[in-house]
Chain A
């Protein structure tokens, strides 16, 4: 018996020993993750890290710059094509565009969380990640990576930061400037906002660094931000800041305007980009916007690529077809007549009594933007619908609009009727035409405009569209005389609105020109007198209400809705409110005036 017990004790002892002698048993390190200590040793490391920044900006809800199209369901709500819904260009009614409608109507208040395109925590993640990347770039340099290589990636990081901060400054005014990755004990977490002027000075440095160090091409074309993109962004941001300063009276404007002009000019002189043209004035303006493959298109400076079935696909064509509402009377009437004069001055304008007459003797871009009833087959509209267009909400069948002005600028029949989320519609985020418009506007604001400038900019665009040239000494369009600017500037601004319609500029432009009050003009649609309603809607199904202007009845998409009677409070609406949650966490941020 005793023998057994000894045996047993030995067994027990051995067992205990076996389980306890390995000290490392409780040391468990991650098996599938990379540690930051061993990273940052090669240019490739920097490249894949910068790829993560692109991955971060993929979600345009959170990171509201370089907006492209969201994928899947969210492409019904977030896309560069929808940004004009903040303005008087497009009048949607669909519930999924409700945030645009609220802003457009001036009926938005501070809310707890972040609004789309607003103060979103994932945007601040990008700021932190850029800062981590910039520290990593410094480490890579220490680790022996070639200075020029490092600068390329550093430039890309700083361009991201510059653009992001510029967007935030234009939306919120002062914003906290963060340079290094914060930790939970960083004072900056609870600090006040950095004055906009300081933020913009930093932005300028970032942009300058990017313009100096980015390559002209990464070898992948216009999908990765390169020097051309940096220059165009610089001209866009500097023009925004310069005109904002000028019209809002917040300080020296000219250095910014000059920088805007210089950056645009540098891009123009660089020769890497040119307007897309084949000499076909009836199609060239529009063609690019329907292309599925934008590689090699000389006008495109930056775009986002999609590929169904792999991950990034979208449904934006289909949603846009159903939800965009329609263009407004205001934009339609801004297109010039073929004599180069506005409809208020031209003898060629045939009025809006007969729908088709709107297109007669007008800038050919109008017919490439708004559906002409005779163009149904041309665009394969609604799969070559046999119905009479335009069609209005409430009518049966076909594509409906709220205004009677169907937008065909981007309509591509295949994708517009494709199965849910299987389309690869690309998003053009920056194109060369903008550089020309930026240059012309900056030059005029600087008082340096001359015919030569007009010819290389506005008139280049007009040549492509088959429109007569703008010349110095233009006549003032009486509709815009109250702006108090030169007739040339009015025309440059008109050119910008027309050329860049639906590309996300209008709302920002009105704000920087301090023309927010323009948004108090209610949106209208087509003439809806008895003749037109009888012709297009004999059954009287249309559910859009109307408004009588100077004795003529027009469709008025927002009459009878919550968005009737838009307001623009100049003391308030030029900036957006900060989310209440952010202020609750850090009262030092303070709210913008009026909210």
Chain B
């Protein structure tokens, strides 16, 4: 079933690359160098790679730490490297014997971290900054960076909707931002962009600026943190070619578990129907038929004719017919990088091909492809001038079945009957002997019964889309004086989307079982059309900044930076739709005969600001930093357009104090940090002109004669004095490095006050329009986070490390204009994420209990034994929601909170010789209340299929302690038993093995023979195991749309190879 072409293609691609790369290999010889390598404890180190710099020539130390390498020239440099140890470079000169001592690598004190418009040594940071490096994203079957970073940085909270590669993860830093929304500013090489669309293998580092002190240079957009993504650039050394190929199998996590015995399912449905409406869903003939098929599941027993209607008595494994067991994901990467004295280059090409989850042939399935190209070059023109260029380009192409509606494309599995008719059967005869000819035209054709999605998937048209993102960037760096660095860069990016959505007519057997009256129909596809969409967005960013460093005095270090930033964007959108295709084969607007419609829009926005940063440190003990930005935006009226956002931070490195001398042997670093600052939030989504009142216009579908009528509608209300939301953060932190840099701990605690939140103030309906946004509410978020790393070696062959991250935050409304305390709005004191509901007292066991209990009439009618008993909180003898206000919530109380608490991650890595095992566990704690809308599969008889466990866990006189009330059809006003209530607040906490990778590096002596410097093979698994208390069929991440049939979360099993030449 599965297409194997992709694998073949991959292999031939690899072969080509091998050939290409082997041309570049070469070596020459002069003398032999020998020596011994020991660790800092004096023990010999086997397995250390010794390579002549700039070549692939090298060897590995033996069991006694000795090595011998021939062909070394006098001007060569030998590079000694070993995992977990600091690499060493030794110039050979005239020596023929070398003794080298390797030291355990430092885990970051000297590490350089990207901060806004510059870099900073980690040891000198005073703000709250965290970083993830390439190592955490490489060699994993992730389609996007969001998937890879989930859990990697404490309090960088990432929500992935599902495994649909088209989706973009939702990024959040340090908890609930604003009631008005908000998100961190994401900059890719300094330019706003969508990091999920990058090639994960191109990413050098991801830095999160969490507090105001770190983010202040970004002013009005940095209120909720900044994420800086740096892509790779060329590094000193000879040309290096890396080829990587990865093949994954993705197994959809679809937890629906339908009852496969149609008789049991029918009885269950009938019980529910009888309880709700007094009727039944399946009559006696059906029951008998199901029974018959159960006893003897032959084709004859599968179908029957009853009163002239075709009936199906067999179980239809619709889940199996629509959801593939697995699908294939492929990733290929090639990059070439290197540097000479004056130029460095990095060029990469990446390709991702992901097949969809549906049980469909490849050309009918949900398909996604992504191409990434990154080209970067740095030129050193002379002593004082260097330039850098960058072009990044990506193209996403997706090709999916046309989306008709939820019934067809999303929630079908949850809605079908257990005996759904999918295709018209081939029976010997139908109504009378010999009438088969009459029905032959229908045989094997798809049936539209039970919202069958298959005919639409196969023939209902395709929705194809190509998205191009292009970034071009030119930078100039001047170093005219010692200590002075001036940089300017200009980047221009475009986003271009072309989408064509074709709904083409399907022909399938009409939804009638009536054999006397069979015909074909078009189902939802009756109105066929083509719609083209085109988006073209442009954006430019210009930065100029200068930095002066003064460190000529031993004790004082001063660095000052000042700069200017300007950004401009423009978006255009055009769409056209023509109805009635001449033929489904030609899908072009011109090949249509029906009505035509067009749409369009344009907008533009601009920003500018000046910013500064001052750093001062005294004896590397006392650190002081001040940041700020004066920022203006086109989104606000002239007088409220500019704002100033300053911050200060300070650090004290106690460990560098003289009185701490005695601790040096075990304490490498101890630093206390504190910061305070304010930032602005101008993010209003696509509302670019919130202060200007304009009239709506368009074409209304209301008709007077024929065709639409043009209209211009009343302008809404706007506030003339809109301005920024202000976000004030306070942060304190401790950084601690211990035991010869084995243990590294960083702890931060913070408060973030979001003030003057722009919000829709609700007014009585009679206002007749949306009230303008006002700066009217405050919010406070408090939280903390810690990251700890332990790294060590055991003996010669083993080394290991464990990263542990833990974070928490909670938000509360501190000011809100809600005089009546209406619960439909926020109110002061509200903890974000609160779940309101009734307290479940139990299930009524007898009708007498119903009579004795408080009156539940306002929650539903016809209360009987087996229904839910809600607690009368206010003792008024009536169960209701009162006036739905804080003072009078009726009998509702706060029954839980769905905010994620105590997010944690544990990442143990173990290395043994050439083997490496990486594990990545991630999890969190929270409450979860499943949604009770229609077709949510969690509640009994809310959907079409029947889950096995419903039947066991629903109330009956024999099962008085059941979890669910007695069965009732929820869609027929049977929702009275599934009101939000304590019983259904579930423990949504989980721990998940998000990734496991086992890799093997082929020994150098083998790879060298093949002309390679490194060859890595790995197998990897994503989402292989999840520990959770959630009740079936819920999945911890899938909290918003439980079990609708959209793109599923997936388990991925991957094999990969990565070769470096």
Contacts and interface: CB of A to CB of B under 8 A. Distances in A.
B277 interface: yes
B824 A112 contact: yes
A422 B700 contact: no
Given A120-B765, A182-B767, A419-B523, A98 B973 contact: yes
Interface stretch (B597-605, B729-737, B1052-1060): B597-605
A51 B971 CA distance: 37
Interface stretch (B69-77, B81-89, B155-163, B703-711): B703-711
B307 A539 contact: yes
Interface in A181-211: 181-184, 186, 188-190
A203 to B, nearest CB: 17
A12 B526 contact: no
Given A12-B544, A310-B595, 12 more contacts: A8-B486, A15-B544, A16-B564, A33-B697, A54-B709, A95-B972, A98-B973, A124-B766, A129-B714, A305-B703, A396-B513, A583-B883
B768 A39 contact: no
A454 to B, nearest CB: 37
A52 B712 contact: yes
Contacts of A332: none
Given A20-B564, A52-B714, A420-B526, A36 B695 contact: yes
A4 B633 CA distance: 36
Contacts of A190: 764
A189 B766 contact: yes
A580 B514 CA distance: 47
Interface string A232-263: 00000000000000000000000000000000
Nearest to A382: B517
Nearest to A218: B704
Interface stretch (A220-228, A483-491, A518-526): A220-228
A441 to B, nearest CB: 32
B713 to A, nearest CB: 4
A422 B564 contact: no
Interface in B469-524: 478, 480-481, 486, 488, 510, 512-514, 516-517, 519, 521-524
Interface in A24-57: 25-36, 39, 45, 48-49, 51-52, 54-56
Contacts of B542: 19
B384 to A, nearest CB: 7
B594 A26 contact: no
Contacts of B700: 51-52, 54-55, 58, 311
Interface in A101-126: 107, 109, 112, 114, 119-121, 123-126
Contacts of B580: 309
Given A36-B693, A54-B700, A559-B278, A119 B525 contact: no
Nearest to A578: B765
A58 B767 contact: no
Interface stretch (A76-84, A361-369, A444-452, A584-592): A584-592
A58 B708 CA distance: 12
B713 A58 contact: no
Contact of B884 (A112, A421, A587): A112
B769 A125 contact: yes
B800 to A, nearest CB: 51
B774 to A, nearest CB: 8
A164 to B, nearest CB: 11
A189 B307 contact: no
B768 A4 contact: no
Contact of A397 (B279, B307, B529, B884): B307
B526 A312 contact: no
B372 to A, nearest CB: 31
A581 B708 contact: no
A417 B517 CA distance: 12
Contacts of A541: 283
B245 to A, nearest CB: 45
Nearest to A581: B824
A16 B710 CA distance: 47
B277 A560 contact: yes
Interface in A290-318: 304-313
B972 A587 contact: no
Given A36-B715, A124-B767, A420-B526, A396 B307 contact: yes
B824 to A, nearest CB: 6
A449 B1029 CA distance: 76
B280 interface: yes
B488 A15 contact: yes
Contact of A584 (B280, B283, B600, B885): B885
B704 A28 contact: no
B279 A394 contact: yes
Contact of A422 (B526, B697, B713, B769): B526
A305 to B, nearest CB: 5
Interface string A10-23: 00100110011000
B710 A223 contact: no
A476 interface: no
A181 B481 CA distance: 65
Given A34-B697, A305-B703, A309-B527, A184 B714 contact: no
B516 to A, nearest CB: 5
- Chain A interface size, as a band, is 35 or more
Contact of A48 (B544, B710, B714): B710
Q: What 3 pairs between A and B have smallest CB-CB spacing?
A: A128-B768, A311-B701, A560-B278
A54 B702 contact: yes
A55 B711 contact: yes
A218 B704 CA distance: 10
Contacts of A5: 480-481
Interface in B850-892: 857-858, 860-862, 880-881, 883-885
B527 A313 contact: yes
A569 interface: no
Interface in B750-780: 761-769, 771-772
A513 B931 CA distance: 44
A420 B566 contact: no
Most-contacted residue by chain B among A26, A112, A386 (CB, 10 A): A26
B632 A30 contact: no
A31 B697 CA distance: 13
A393 interface: yes
Interface string B235-256: 0000000000000000000000
Given A93-B277, A559-B278, A306 B694 contact: no
Interface in B667-703: 688-689, 692-697, 699-703
Interface string A54-98: 111010000000000001000000000000000000000101001
Contacts of B769: 125, 128
A393 B279 contact: yes
A32 B602 contact: yes
Interface string B537-551: 000001010100000
A8 B480 contact: yes
A185 to B, nearest CB: 10
Contacts of B704: 218, 220-221, 223-224, 305
A561 interface: yes
A19 to B, nearest CB: 5
A4 B384 CA distance: 9
A474 to B, nearest CB: 42
Nearest to B594: A309
A385 B822 contact: no
Contacts of B524: 419-421
A104 B971 CA distance: 19
B698 to A, nearest CB: 8
Interface in A483-514: none
20 contacts: A8-B486, A12-B478, A20-B564, A29-B692, A35-B692, A36-B715, A52-B714, A55-B702, A58-B701, A95-B972, A109-B880, A112-B824, A124-B767, A125-B769, A129-B768, A184-B767, A305-B706, A311-B700, A544-B279, A559-B278
B306 interface: yes
A582 B772 CA distance: 19
B308 interface: yes
A584 B820 contact: yes
